Structure 1
């Protein structure tokens, strides 16, 4: 389907359910992908993690992949290299020496300006833009991916000539999120609570959320286990470990490698509503969602409207008492947790990267000798 003035919608139903069969991929025959994305205490780690998901899928399809990044945290560098993704450190974020000799360039980040993006779009390789807000006046490139639950192709009307891949069927998740989901039980009182506040938590809300969880646990002894994941770019690890103290019912985890198992083991989750929402949906996890930044309001609102989560609002507007009451309410409501889990599981199936690669592969392979 081609819609004049708004790019191309790559297939019908691209904003509906994110579940279905994974596409069969052609061999990429060594085609070269460079992902340009940054991470840090201010912008978090989500841009890089989505880029790594695409890069890992690219490798599985027979291509080569590298990550070009400015001031990449060591934990993310190690993760990339362990997956076979080469890392190209950038002393200057505007450096483009990495741009040569690519078959596809993928860019993820809201800090890249129009001039920089125009330079990338003018290169030999097709440009794939990963976007969340459809707020740019013009989105350059050959492809745009917006995998959010609220994303619609129509959001890009008059803003791009690119092919638009919109909605959670194109969720850029790492391969492990396509693993079969174990049968989820919903006990009368949730026993295991998982806290996920993003890769950086620049506003420092993790301490408030942890205090709220501790309050809920004191009010409901059945809520026996609290796990707080401290992201790779979060500098507050020591303070949060101190806040947890010697309480054996609280575990503070850092630089987690197996996030899927943590999500599968949790009876409920309090999370920031960035890309983690799609990861949790793929596991059918009941969610309380707050926003660390304004861009996270829309995903939380949409998940709430679908019945797949409860929206808390901006974390900055919440105190430990009100958040604790929300935690306690969901912990004591197995029927609502079960309904959330069922709905969330219909949204994302973990095959989004394969769908993106299937759409871009013909353009990429046409460049190969």
Structure 2
């Protein structure tokens, strides 16, 4: 069998689509060949190089020829994770591939696909315009997390905050990471800040901020840093679900428009604190005392179990081996 994944990542759009599809791709490789189709160009080079380092075959295309290039691959299934689509795209690709699926965040189009994946906490609140037989895999039980987040040890909540992880995704085009470090490290000199530098970071000046209480990590095993942290300052993308799997109390920072809905829903449910302005981070750290962090951790532990990718791969396998298809 052959599964085609259509996704992009890079310096401007971030690495979220690449990172989460690579999680499901790893599971799909247990029973299928996996090929990526990515847009070519300097903007998307970070995503392409990341995938190649992971061992995936990547076919590069341009926006004009995406449909024709997809049709040449003769796959059994196409999974799309991109905002650069419309209803015409879904109609055309449904004619090419026996099974099609879409990884969604926004619910903007009528989706002519066999399955929809939306891992976000608000997903079950949405009403999808889909075909009668379309399967919906909605909510954090389908969160696409790496195997390191399968039932990790439960985080111990300490009385005082001694370690904070700062993680703003695979790219940081606005240099928010540097701004946050400079805003916090002096006032919280008794706290060690563990700063994750993503593969698409372009700010080389971050190294100058590495101090006794500021440590930088390049391509780390995330679960290890999370589990030694008392608190996280995180972008409000997929990392929120990784932190939830570890039970890490979190202050969310919205770094993209498509993160607002999940961030506000989690804030409403008391699962995370939200700093909508960077100036609010100091106050957010101060108000998150032991009892508040303990309560947040308990909520987070119930949200995600880390088996989302396994559930999705089993569902896709079932669709691919269905005799009616």
Question: TM-score if structure 2 supplies the norm length?
Answer: 0.90
Determine the structure 2 residue equivalent to 1:329: 287
Does the 8 A contact of 1:227 with 1:253 survive in 2? yes
Conserved? CA contact 2:107–2:126, under 8 Å: no
Partner of 1:229: 196
Work out whether residues 153 and 165 of structure 1, in 8 Å CA contact, stay in contact via their aligned partners in 2: no
Q: Which residue does the alignment assign to 2:27?
A: 57
Q: CA deviation at 1:74?
A: 6.0
1:153 to 1:335, Cα distance in 2 relative to 1, 3 A = closer
- 1:192 paired with 2:148, answer no
Tell me which moved more, 158-167 or 72-81.
72-81
Partner of 1:346: 302
Report the Cα offset of residue 366 of structure 1. 3.3
Residues 216, 327 of structure 1: 8 Å contact kept: no
Alignment check: 8 A CA contact 1:193 1:266 kept: yes
Paired position in structure 1 for 2:60: 89
1:194 Cα offset (Å): 0.5
Q: Kindly indicate whether the alpha-carbon contact (under 8 Å) linking 1:56 and 1:85 is maintained by their aligned counterparts in 2.
A: no
Shift of 1:176: 2.0
Select which of 148, 166, 182 maps to 1:211. 182
Distance 1:328 1:340 in 2: 15
In 2, Cα distance between equivalents of 1:260 and 1:285 = 10
**Pairing of 1:98-109 with structure 2 (within 5 A):** 98-99=70-71, 100-109=73-82
Change (3 A) 1:40 1:272: same
The one of 265, 269, 274 equivalent to 2:228 is: 265
**CA 1:183 to 1:129, structure 2 compared with 1: closer, same or farther past 3 Å?**
closer
Does residue 1:302 correspond to 2:258, yes or no?
A: no
Q: How does 1:279-318 map to 2 (within 5 A)?
A: 279-313=242-276, 318=277
Residues 228 and 342 (structure 1), Cα distance of their counterparts in 2 relative to 1, 3 Å cut: same
What is the CA RMSD across the aligned residues, in angstroms? 2.4
Distance 1:76 1:257, change over 3 A: farther
User: What CA distance in whole angstroms lies between the structure 2 residues aligned with 1:261 and 1:327?
Assistant: 22
Residue 368 (structure 1) shift: 10
Contact 1:171 1:278 in 2 (8 A): yes
**In the superposition, relative to structure 1, how do residues 90 and 338 fare at CA in structure 2: closer, same or farther (>3 Å)?**
same
Q: Secondary structure at the match of 2:101?
A: strand
Q: Tell me if 1:253 matches 2:217.
A: yes
Per-residue deviation, 1:168: 0.8
Which is worse superposed, 280-289 or 76-85? 76-85
1:362 matched to 2:318? The reply is yes
Change (3 A) 1:202 1:114: farther
Counterpart secondary structure, 1:278: helix
Q: Is the 8 A contact 2:154 2:247 kept in 1?
A: no
Structure having greater relative contact order (Cα 8 Å, sep ≥ 6): 1
Deviations 1:219-248 (A, max 9, x none): xx2x2x111112212211x12222x15x12
The SS at the match of 2:196 is strand
| Matches of 1:76 and 1:163, distance apart in 2 | 29
Q: Give deviations 1:291-341, integer Å, cap 9, x for gaps.
A: 11222111112222222211222xxxx244x322212332xx122111111
Distance between the aligned counterparts of 1:83 and 1:176, measured in 2?
16
1:4-19 paired onto structure 2 within 5 Å: none
CA distance in 2, matches of 1:82, 1:319: 34
Structure 2 SS opposite 1:227: strand
2:35 is the counterpart of 1:66: yes
Q: Distance in 2 between matches of 1:64 and 1:79?
A: 18
